[in-house]
Amino acid sequence: EAQVTQNPRYLITVTGKKLTVTCSQNMNHEYMSWYRQDPGLGLRQIYYSMNVEVTDKGDVPEGYKVSRKEKRNFPLILESPSPNQTSLYFCASSYRGLSGELFFGEGSRLTVL
């Protein structure tokens, strides 16, 4: 089954404790992206990757890092999480081409105390 898998789905952590949210897709998609969703602010793009070893900032990259060492994986790294990074995070992937339908993961709800 074609899918985008995120882990963990839920996480409560404390300020400053490094964490990684993993994202994996099984559709051989070139494009992958991370979003955060906050009440009243909709979906905002954090980082995206057009292909392996190619990443770029979205609208809200501060406090986040990403890497794209393999085509299928695109982890989101919070080196020193802060309470303002409490949010619902979504990973998405697509072919890079014209059809470009985005497939989203189920989301990861992160709480930073």
Residues near other proteins (CB under 8 A) are 31, 33, 35, 40-45, 48-50, 56, 58-59, 90, 92, 96-107
| Residue with smaller CB distance to other proteins, 69 or 99 | 99
| Residue with smaller CB distance to other proteins, 35 or 64 | 35
Q: What angle do CA 22, 28, 33 make, to 5 degrees?
A: 45
Closest CA to 73 of 24, 7, 5: 24
Least distance in angstroms from the C-beta of 53 to other proteins: 14
Q: What angle do CA 62, 16, 106 make, to 5 degrees?
A: 65
| Residue with smaller CB distance to other proteins, 40 or 69 | 40
Least distance in angstroms from the C-beta of 21 to other proteins: 14
Residues forming a β-bridge with 47: 34, 57
Least distance in angstroms from the C-beta of 111 to other proteins: 16
The amino acid that residue 39 corresponds to is P
